[in-house]
């Protein structure tokens, strides 16, 4: 509710994106497929007939639906249920959760995205601290003792910004032994994210320009060589790691078509 109010104050329009969709969105394939309990057979009896004529899934993200609406409005967002069939038994990987997603139109700058992300983080935190002091005090007493000083520091300091390449260099120059590899091209894991935040002063940290192959097909290609990165950013915070992320969208039709063809998605996302 707090996030919705803040986004609306910034001129974003709420869009209720579908819960049932044929889109995989990020292309990870971790979807729950939806079919009627009593399957209807095709006339030739060779197999089940899809209720919507095509396979349907519980949504993993409303991003692509938002992008359609973003062509008409300067800013749109959705807040609704999200489902991930990711087989990971941890508190960070839920099968069902609510997620806020937003799209900003007509921007070609990661700095614009980072400003919105930082403003929302600060505004939400300030609201919770001022409006829910008893809940905050209870949390710090029983869940995370001593963390309040860290929160106060975060609100006073500027957020740091480094590139993914700089992050990998920091990790590889560390004397710490990590469970997951830190080669360029590997995704950052929670242990890496927490170390980077602590290394950079224990304040929120933006990591930008990830390897192109790590990001969804619609992420803007930086066309930089020889590294080949994408215009994407994640916000890492103390004690948690990644809190939110975003990217510029590929608006160059020829590059988008090429990426869709390479991923075998040109027919699926022809629209």
- What's this model's pTM, rounded to 2 decimal places? 0.87
Residue 155, in any domain of the structure:
no
Mean pLDDT of 202-230: 94
Domain extent at residue 97: 1-106
The confidence band for 237, taking pLDDT boundaries of 50, 70 and 90, is very high
Residue 186, in any domain of the structure:
no
Mean pLDDT of 91-118: 89
Residue 146, in any domain of the structure:
no
CATH number of the domain that residue 60 is part of: 3.30.930.10
Place of tokens 């399957």: 39
Residue 144, in any domain of the structure:
no
Answer for the pair 104, 75: CB distance below 8 angstroms, yes or no.
yes
Structurally, how many domains does the chain consist of?
1
pLDDT at 264 over 90: no
Q: Give the whole-number percent of the chain exceeding pLDDT 90.
A: 61
Residue 112, in any domain of the structure:
no
Residue 227, in any domain of the structure:
no
User: How do residues 27-71 score in pLDDT, each as one tens digit?
Assistant: 666 899 998 887 655 545 555 678 888 889 999 999 889 988 998
Residue 29, in any domain of the structure:
yes
68-95 b/e (C-beta count within 10 Å ≥ 16 → b): ebbeeeebbbbbbebbbeeeeeeeeeee
Residue 266, in any domain of the structure:
no
Mean pLDDT of 156-167: 96
State phi, psi for 116 to the nearest 5 degrees. Answer: -65, -45
């Amino acid at each position: 509710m707090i996030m919705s109010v803040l986004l609306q104050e910034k001129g974003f329009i709420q869009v209720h994106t579908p819960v049932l969709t044929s889109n995989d969105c990020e292309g990870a394939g971790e979807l729950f497929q939806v079919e009627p309990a009593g399957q209807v057979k095709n006339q030739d009896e060779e197999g089940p007939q899809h209720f919507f004529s095509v396979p349907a899934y519980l949504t993993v993200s409303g991003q692509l639906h938002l992008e359609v609406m973003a062509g008409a409005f300067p800013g749109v967002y959705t807040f609704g249920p999200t489902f991930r069939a990711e087989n990971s038994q941890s508190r960070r990987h839920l099968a069902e959760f609510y997620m806020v997603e937003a799209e900003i139109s007509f921007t070609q700058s990661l700095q614009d995205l980072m400003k919105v992300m930082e403003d929302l983080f600060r505004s939400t935190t300030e609201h919770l601290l001022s409006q829910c002091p008893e809940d905050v005090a209870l949390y710090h007493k029983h869940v995370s003792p001593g963390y309040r000083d860290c929160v106060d520091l975060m609100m006073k300091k500027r957020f740091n910004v480094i590139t993914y390449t700089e992050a990998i260099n920091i990790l590889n120059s560390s004397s710490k032994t990590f469970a997951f590899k830190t080669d360029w091209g590997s995704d950052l894991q929670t242990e890496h994210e927490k170390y980077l935040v602590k290394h950079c002063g224990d304040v929120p940290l933006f990591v930008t320009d990830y390897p192109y192959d790590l990001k969804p097909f619609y992420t803007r290609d930086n066309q930089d060589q020889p590294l080949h990165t994408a215009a994407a950013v994640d916000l890492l915070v103390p004690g948690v790691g990644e809190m939110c992320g975003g990217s510029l969208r590929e608006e160059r039709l020829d590059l988008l078509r090429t990426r869709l063809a390479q991923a075998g998605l040109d027919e699926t996302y022809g629209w």
